[in-house]
Chains A and B, each alone.
Chain A
Amino acid sequence: MTDLAPTARGYAAITGEIVGIALDYPKRRAWWICFGVALLLLLSFFVSVTVLFWYGVGVWGNNIPVAWGLAISNYIWFLGIGHAGTLISAMLLLLEQHWRNSLNRFAEAMTLFAVICAGLYPLVHLGRPWLFYWIAPYPNTMTVWPQFKSPLTWDFFAVLTYLIVSILFWYIGIVPDLASARDRATRRRAQVFFGLFALGWRGAAHHWARWRQAYRLTAAIAVPLVVSVHSEVSLLFAAGPIPGWTSTVFPPYFVLGAAFSGFAVVSMIAVILRHALGLQNLVTPRHLDLLAKFLLATGLMTAYGYWSEVFDTLYAGEHQEMGTLLDRLGGVYAWSYWGAVLANFVPLQLLWFRRVRRQPLLLFLISLSVTVGMWFERYMLLVTTLYRDYLVSSWREYHPSFWDWSLFAGMLGVFLTLFLLFVRFLPIISSFEVKEALFEEKEEAEEATETAHG
């Protein structure tokens, strides 16, 4: 019917191809090289965090008024990247789009690791990070409760919920494949590992039926969760009465921007894994094409957000808001505004062409440009707004310090290390869902031929 699933091959071949990677990883040398780089970056994380905890947040470029620097802009950036994973797997599951099956597993893993990185940022930004548990409500001897009207507490609940829901959704989705790996494993260690985590799954019809109920319900709940988490971030901005942060377009603009950056990262990961592990049968040009279309669509919606923000300011004509707008367009940090506009939307226009969408290298480069562009955008939204507010006395520039950058590099290391471990040891594509799609497509095709022949 389509070039989405490897229709010519049997169920056993699919199992072998996907589960085989987890059991007997093919390109070990390339993996070790990548893992070495990731570990170096991870080392940078531990060093930066140690320095930060030892000397305090003063080692960063943060100041007053720019108390939110790289830490919070990276928090939003990472959280945004995570969103596409949930959207791909949950929204497309509910819409019964079978092509998601080749992408959802690693997209969800990406979400998980991106949310972990995002969650670490507010923690290390706290000033006294070892007291982070004070934002959780627990009966303490001081009989003090957290301030539930504070964005920091909202963050805590939003990120924690998002993390737990992502882990559970990803985990129950992977259990049947862990059972596959358990059944094929020959080495004792792999048998025990997969045996424990497969929970004794044996594919009973009653189990599948309840599993489907739970999986679909979780997906249905995860979609509004995604919207709420990033709207929460924009609400957190709006809670600070600062010019440039109070536009009503912010919640949808943040959510779409998040999905935009997330689809860019999913496209990059898809292109890399496909090439590195020879998954051309499972991640076909059609998948790249669909991802690219999503990227283009969310990109154009994000562009509407940019436009609407400018329009809003000009229409309201408020003095301070206009000042912030002019600072964005031509101030000290104009590079971040124009960088965002150029990197996000100019290469993106190539995706109108079908040939570009199906070309892995071009798609990778465009996605990379979008990922960088969205980083510029998060930086621009924070810094251009904070460095100049109502009073000239509180105008001050912000420049990230070495430790800001080294923590950012380290956080990329956290992400890469976790992701590489996932690629190495777990089934990175949902094999049972590919098989299910294959079966259903075959049935549909048979029905179609039957009706055609009367």
Chain B
Amino acid sequence: MAESAPGTGLFGMLAEFDKPERLLDAVDKARDAGLRQLEAYSPFPIDGLAERLRFKDQRVPLLTLLGGVLGAAVGYGMQVYTNYAFPIDIGNRPLVANPAFMLITFELTVLFAVLFAIGSMLALNRLPRLHHPLFDLDEFHLASSNKFFLLVFGNDPLFDEGRTRAFLETLTPVRVSPVEHTEIPE
């Protein structure tokens, strides 16, 4: 799924549904009809919706794991390094004291894993993005309340203003609206 670039006709065609089941059904039918550049919008996460749109991205869990490993290394490494850099010799106790170091190592593992999980989620979702062509549509504010939307992007190979609209009309939507590109700041 890639958004259509500005200056290429319409941004997309948006169909509004009043029930989550209708949206799920519409996604299936759109995929069957050969449309590929699709996005669905819902006020709450719906089980299986992303999978129907062929979502297979596992980068968030992987990056979380990476963050955890990195955090453990940084936490442990920092303590070992500082104890050699500034040795505090008390009763000839060992400088590298693993039992005492584990706590901070664990805390930093958690901290880095969470920072990576949330950071990668935002980055991969391209958020924050305060401006989006959909926000220009009046009815779209219901996407966070009780309506469900299907968007066919304008850069889909099969996209054609008239035919896409006619196709979406067959899916029993509340309404179908074209989505314009928003002006780009000069």
Contacts and interface: CB of A to CB of B under 8 A. Distances in A.
Contacts of B41: 202-205
A24 interface: no
A206 B103 contact: no
A205 B120 contact: no
Interface in A221-278: 221-222, 224-225, 228, 232, 235
Contact of B111 (A164, A195, A436): A164
B164 interface: no
A180 interface: yes
Given A199-B127, A206-B39, A206-B125, A439 B117 contact: no
B171 interface: no
Interface string B117-136: 11011101101111110110
Interface residues of B, number: 62
Nearest to A185: B141
B82 A221 contact: no
A176 B125 CA distance: 14
Contact of B145 (A15, A149, A195, A205): A15
A232 B40 contact: no
A232 B45 contact: no
A183 B43 CA distance: 11
B26 interface: no
B115 A221 contact: no
A210 B46 contact: no
Interface in A317-338: none
Contact of B121 (A10, A154, A172, A183): A172
A433 B64 CA distance: 24
Contacts of A225: 107, 110
Interface stretch (B28-36, B48-56, B155-163, B174-182): B48-56
A134 B86 CA distance: 14
Contacts of A143: 85-86
B129 A200 contact: yes
B135 A202 contact: yes
Contacts of B140: 202
A158 interface: yes
Contacts of B50: 205-206, 208-209
A207 B127 contact: yes
Which secondary structure dominates chain A's binding surface?
Answer: helix
Contact of A203 (B43, B104, B122): B43
Contact of A172 (B86, B118, B129): B118
Given A148-B104, A214-B117, A202 B134 contact: yes
Contacts of B167: none
A207 B106 contact: no
A140 B146 CA distance: 55
A228 B107 contact: yes
A442 B23 CA distance: 16
A83 interface: no
Contact of B46 (A184, A196, A214, A439): A439
A235 to B, nearest CB: 7
Given A165-B111, A228-B107, 17 more contacts: A15-B144, A143-B86, A145-B82, A145-B85, A148-B79, A149-B100, A158-B107, A183-B145, A200-B131, A203-B41, A205-B39, A208-B44, A208-B50, A210-B121, A214-B60, A217-B64, A218-B114
Interface of B: 1, 20, 39-47, 49-50, 53, 55, 57, 60-61, 64, 68, 78-79, 82-83, 85-86, 88, 97, 100-101, 103-104, 106-108, 110-111, 113-115, 117-118, 120-122, 124-125, 127-132, 134-135, 140-146
Interface of A: 10-12, 15, 137, 143-149, 153-154, 157-158, 160-161, 164-165, 168-169, 172, 176, 179-180, 182-184, 195-196, 199-214, 217-218, 221-222, 224-225, 228, 232, 235, 432-433, 435-436, 439-440
